[in-house]
């Protein structure tokens, strides 16, 4: 294959006690593709994200990021290797302003690390990049508002901003449009399309409109197993998916 | 003030020169106050108190690097103060010996606090590596364990710690970088002020560095901090070591002022005291621990001379702050000031005055009750008259008790059932008119 796999999961399993939540997932995500994972509630989509991002350890199997194994690594190390994620529940620094949140996301990637001998506000490259990001996110007018006081849609946009800010090549977005109105969701989808032009996107989404609009390929996760992984058209036509997802008998 | 608010103020201020003026003036005012303070408080006791305040300010600020900035509640910060103090004391004694024998120059007295700081940093690295693996309750418990360990060691290893008598040194047989005689306590006071300023500025600036920002980030949302690439344990560890460094500097200054150091310097009591100082002042504000430290030292130094019950008042003050003003005294002042600026005081001045007056009356009654109780329970002859403010009273009779309780009840009752509702109504009407 000419395109390298950005992320590849082989035989990934996760048990909580005796309960098998993820049951041997094999999944290859190509570089620069937009890959959406769908599936009914409780299928294990968020758990899968937690496993990939290092928030939880896998019980068995291996996860590779650009060919390097990342299973069992702590989240900050996974992040430094080029993977970043957002959460289903908004997860920001609520007391910091929009600008400060973005700066925090940029600091490590721009090599400032644990420095205590330079001032953040003197790092003009960081400020500039944060301002650029802010423009992309349409949050310029909210520059100095604490993140905790932004509207829900703005918080989600900011979270996408922090996710891409950390310089990641692979983005995991966990239901970025959950709880949004139609227009808000459309704006966010447009934003995602823009910011993921040259990186790999893996996204969990419930809204099928969004899914078919954005995805290059779709994986369907049901009871901890991938039952289909194909282009949107093929998935739409897949009988097993229809049965699992819509719960209808196929005649 | 929190970083967020400062950033916003700075953003509003606009031009570069203006920002400098806005940020510099509090430092200039503080410097002038510190330099002029000995002209007002000029007795030997007062100068000693001022020096102790300077030390406590550095110590409380270093403590707030943990509690306020990183969200680490430590019950054993005196370990780094005390161990810094002991090492500094050894440096001072080494210098004393060298100067008295005429065998060497020793360490210049101005640099001895730095020795304390380096010692604090060293022990911070050792103990921090163990304790900062986790935040929250685990960290608090480990800090408690470490202070117990070190306090016990201080009595066990008499060679290093000098046992119960502690270690002595003196600041006369030393060399100074600038040829200053430090036998007078006023000279030491200015040395303390100089070091306190250096340390305070450094700690202030640290909050604006990438590490300082990420310390706040780790405090507020450790998970998100990890997902932007930061090892939260490392952030806590570095912040802890730097905090221990400044605590050690405070310990070094303590040695120069007191010329003696005992096991109290590494103990539980001092660890608790610095927590109280930072908290009473307000941990969300840079100025908080400064005000808290000054107040705590002042109360310790003066209230203890006036009343046997000073520790009780101290405890009541702490409980009051924790319960009614968790943002601390500076927090209250800041809140009221913002309220005042936005016109919230308009039309409520009378009610506010009434509230304050009622609270003061209740306080007066409370003090009377406490003082009489102390006299009754602790004097060898309770029927002997005691002086209470302006009158002499006999606490074995009922009258002074009844009057005190009446004053207390009247003040508290007026505050709760009349003054506060009145303030609320006044605020509502004033708000309604706007």
CATH number of domain containing A202: 3.40.50.300
Compute the average pLDDT of residues A227-247. 83
* Domain range for A185: 5-246
How many residues are present in chain A?
251
Tell me the chain B residues in contact with residue A170 when contact means C-beta distances shorter than 8 Å: none
Compute the average pLDDT of residues A223-239. 88
In a domain, A108, yes or no: yes
The whole-number pLDDT of residue B102 equals: 83
Q: What is the mean pLDDT of chain B?
A: 90
Whether ipTM tops 0.85, in short, is yes
Distance CA B363, CA B365 (A): 5
Tell me the chain B residues in contact with residue A163 when contact means C-beta distances shorter than 8 Å: 227
Note the pTM of the prediction, 2 decimals. 0.90
The yes-or-no verdict on residue A88 having pLDDT over 90 is no
- Please say whether the beta carbons of B283 and B192 come within 8 A: no
Q: What six digits make up the tokens of B260?
A: 């003696």
Higher pLDDT, B31 or B3: B31
pLDDT tens digits for range B50-97: 999 999 999 999 999 999 999 999 999 999 999 999 999 999 999 999
The whole-number pLDDT of residue B13 equals: 45
Compute the average pLDDT of residues B257-269. 93
Whose CA is closest to A220, among A201, A234, A210? Answer: A234
pLDDT tens digits for range A170-219: 999 998 888 888 888 888 899 899 888 888 999 998 888 888 888 999 99
Count how many domains chain A has. 1
Domain ranges of chain B: 41-335, 343-433
In chain B, pLDDT over 70 holds for what percent of residues? Answer: 95
The whole-number pLDDT of residue B2 equals: 47
Strand pairing category for A225-230 and A217-222: antiparallel
Tell me the chain B residues in contact with residue A117 when contact means C-beta distances shorter than 8 Å: 209
The whole-number pLDDT of residue A3 equals: 59
The DSSP 8-state label assigned to residue B347 in this structure reads T
pLDDT tens digits for range A36-53: 999 888 888 989 999 999
In chain B, pLDDT over 90 holds for what percent of residues? Answer: 65
The whole-number pLDDT of residue B383 equals: 82
Concatenate the DSSP letters of all residues of A26-48 into one string. Answer: EEEEETT-EEEEE--TTSSHHHH
What does residue A194 show for φ and ψ, rounded to 5 degrees?
-65, -50
Query: Which of A93, A123, A155, A159 to probe by mutation at the B interface, max B CB count within 10 Å?
Result: A93
Query: Which of A50, A56, A83, A104 to probe by mutation at the B interface, max B CB count within 10 Å?
Result: A104
The whole-number pLDDT of residue A250 equals: 45
Compute the average pLDDT of residues B174-203. 92
Tell me the chain B residues in contact with residue A76 when contact means C-beta distances shorter than 8 Å: 226-227, 229-232
Distance CA A97, CA A103 (A): 10
pLDDT tens digits for range B361-418: 999 999 999 999 988 888 888 888 888 888 888 888 888 899 999 999 999 999 999 8
Cα B379–Cα B383–Cα B387 angle in degrees, nearest 5: 75
Span of A122-126, B191-195, B229-233, B339-343 with lowest mean pLDDT:
B339-343
CA-based nearest distance B213→chain A, Å: 7
Compute the average pLDDT of residues B209-236. 94
Q: Please name the residue of chain B whose CA is at the shortest distance from the CA of residue A106.
A: B228
The whole-number pLDDT of residue B16 equals: 57
- Please say whether the beta carbons of B167 and B260 come within 8 A: yes
Distance CA A117, CA A123 (A): 12
Tell me the chain B residues in contact with residue A96 when contact means C-beta distances shorter than 8 Å: 3-4, 216-217, 220
Q: Which of B206, B221, B227 sits opposite A84 (nearest CB)?
A: B227
In a domain, A251, yes or no: no
Tell me the CA distances in angstroms from A240 to A48, A251, B13, B360, one per residue in order.
Answer: 21, 12, 63, 77
Q: How confident is the model at residue B432 (pLDDT cuts 50, 70, 90)?
A: low
In chain A, pLDDT over 90 holds for what percent of residues? Answer: 53
The yes-or-no verdict on residue B1 having pLDDT over 60 is no
The yes-or-no verdict on residue B198 having pLDDT over 50 is yes
Compute the average pLDDT of residues A137-162. 92
Q: Which of B228, B235, B242 sits opposite A105 (nearest CB)?
A: B228
Q: What six digits make up the tokens of A59?
A: 């019980």
pLDDT tens digits for range B332-377: 999 989 888 888 777 788 888 899 999 999 999 999 999 999 888 8
Radius of gyration of chain B, Cα coordinates, nearest whole angstrom = 24
CATH 1.10.150 is right for the domain spanning B41-335: no
The yes-or-no verdict on residue A251 having pLDDT over 50 is no
CA-based nearest distance A107→chain B, Å: 7
Compute the average pLDDT of residues A153-165. 90
Compute the average pLDDT of residues A151-171. 89
Compute the average pLDDT of residues B13-18. 56
Which contacts of B337-340 are long-range, i.e. CB under 8 A and separated by 24 or more positions? Answer: none
In a domain, A152, yes or no: yes
- Please say whether the beta carbons of B35 and B181 come within 8 A: no
């Amino acid at each position: 294959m000419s395109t390298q796999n950005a992320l590849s999961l082989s035989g990934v399993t996760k048990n909580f006690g005796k309960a098998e939540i993820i049951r041997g997932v094999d999944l290859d995500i190509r570089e620069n593709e937009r890959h959406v994972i769908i599936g009914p509630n409780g299928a294990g989509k968020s758990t899968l994200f937690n496993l990939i991002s290092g928030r939880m350890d896998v019980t068995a199997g291996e996860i590779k990021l650009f060919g390097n194994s990342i299973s069992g690594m702590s989240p900050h190390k996974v992040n430094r290797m080029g993977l970043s994620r957002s959460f289903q529940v908004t997860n920001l620094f609520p007391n910091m302003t929009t600008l400060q949140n973005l700066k925090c996301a940029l600091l490590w990637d721009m090599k400032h690390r644990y420095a205590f001998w330079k001032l953040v506000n003197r790092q003009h490259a960081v400020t500039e990049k944060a301002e650029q990001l802010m423009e992309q996110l349409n949050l310029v007018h909210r520059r100095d508002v604490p993140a905790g006081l932004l509207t829900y849609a703005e918080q989600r946009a900011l979270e996408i901003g922090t996710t891409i800010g950390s310089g990641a090549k692979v983005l995991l977005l966990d239901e970025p449009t959950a709880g949004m109105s139609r227009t808000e969701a459309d704006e966010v989808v447009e934003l995602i399309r823009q910011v993921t032009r040259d990186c790999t996107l893996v996204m969990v989404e419930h809204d099928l409109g969004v899914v078919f609009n954005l995805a290059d390929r779709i994986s369907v996760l049901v009871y901890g197993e991938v039952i289909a992984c194909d282009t949107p058209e093929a998935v739409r036509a897949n009988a097993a998916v229809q049965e699992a997802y819509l719960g209808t008998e196929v005649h | 003030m929190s970083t967020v608010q400062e950033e916003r103020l700075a953003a509003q201020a606009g031009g570069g020169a203006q920002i400098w003026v806005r940020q510099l003036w509090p430092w200039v005012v503080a410097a002038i106050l510190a330099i002029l303070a000995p002209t007002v408080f000029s007795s030997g006791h007062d100068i000693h108190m001022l020096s102790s305040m300077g030390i406590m300010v550095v110590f409380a600020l270093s403590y707030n690097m943990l509690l306020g900035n990183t969200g680490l509640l430590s019950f054993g910060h005196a370990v780094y103060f005390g161990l810094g103090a002991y090492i500094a004391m050894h440096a001072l004694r080494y210098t004393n010996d060298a100067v008295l024998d005429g065998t060497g120059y020793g360490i210049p007295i101005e640099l001895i606090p730095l020795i304390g700081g380096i010692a604090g940093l060293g022990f911070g690295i050792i103990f921090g590596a163990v304790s900062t693996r986790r935040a929250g309750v685990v960290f608090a418990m480990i800090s408690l364990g470490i202070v117990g360990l070190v306090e016990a060691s201080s009595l066990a290893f008499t060679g290093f710690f000098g046992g119960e008598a502690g270690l002595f040194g003196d600041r006369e047989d030393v060399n100074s970088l600038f040829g200053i005689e430090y036998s007078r306590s006023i000279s030491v006071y200015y040395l303390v002020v100089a070091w306190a300023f250096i340390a305070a500025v450094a700690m202030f600036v640290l909050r604006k560095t990438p590490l300082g920002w990420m310390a706040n980030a780790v405090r507020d949302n450790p998970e998100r901090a990890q997902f932007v690439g930061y090892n939260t344990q490392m952030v806590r560890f570095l912040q802890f070591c730097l905090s221990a460094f400044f605590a050690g500097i405070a310990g070094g200054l303590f040695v120069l002022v007191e010329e003696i150091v005992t096991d109290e310097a590494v103990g539980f009591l001092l660890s608790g005291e610095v927590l109280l100082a930072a908290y009473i002042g307000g941990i969300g504000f840079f100025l908080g621990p400064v005000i808290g430290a000054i107040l705590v030292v002042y109360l310790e130094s003066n209230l203890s001379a006036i009343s046997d019950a000073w520790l009780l008042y101290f405890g009541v003050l702490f409980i009051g702050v924790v319960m009614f003003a968790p943002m601390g005294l500076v927090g209250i002042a800041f809140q009221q000031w913002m309220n005042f600026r936005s016109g919230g005081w308009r039309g409520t001045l009378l009610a506010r005055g009434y509230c304050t007056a009622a609270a003061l009356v209740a306080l007066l009654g409370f003090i009377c009750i406490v003082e009489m109780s102390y006299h009754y329970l602790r004097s060898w002859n309770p029927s002997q008259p005691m002086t209470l403010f302006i009158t002499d009273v006999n606490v074995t009779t009922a009258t002074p008790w009844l009057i005190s309780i009446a004053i207390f009840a009247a003040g508290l009752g007026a505050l709760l059932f009349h003054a506060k509702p009145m303030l609320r109504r006044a605020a509502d009407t004033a708000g309604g008119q706007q």
